Amino acid sequence: MTTFPGIPHVPPGPPPLVNFLTQVKLSLELLTGQRGGPQPYILTSYSVAALPPANIGGIAYAYDGRKVGESAGNGTGVMIYSDRTKWVACDSSLAVTK
C-alpha cells in the first residue's frame, strides 16, 4: 500500500455512514420483527430538552429539533441518531439543537 504524508488512509469498502445506516436498519428489523416490509418504522419522539443520554445509542425523532436552514427556537422536527457521545441530526450530521 502506498501512503502519502499528510493524507489519511481510507480503508476500502462502503463509507462509514453507509455501514452505520445498514446497522441501524438491521437493528430496527431485529427490534420490530419487520424485514423491510411495507410497514414504516415508528421512531420514538422527544423534545430536544428531554432526549435520553446519548451513550445508549439508537435513532429517534426530535420534534422540535432544527433542520438545516431553520432558525433558533423554530425547529420543526428532525430524525436523529446517537453517535454514543451526542444526538446528531441526520440532515446535517451536527449535534441536534432546538
Over residues 16-63, the pLDDT tens digits come to 566 667 777 777 776 666 665 556 678 899 999 999 999 888 899 999
Residue among 96, 79, 89 nearest 28 (CA): 79
Domain regions of the chain by residue span: 42-98
pTM for this prediction: 0.61
Query: What pLDDT, on a 0 to 100 scale, did the predictor assign at position 32?
Result: 64
Q: What is the DSSP letter of 8?
A: -
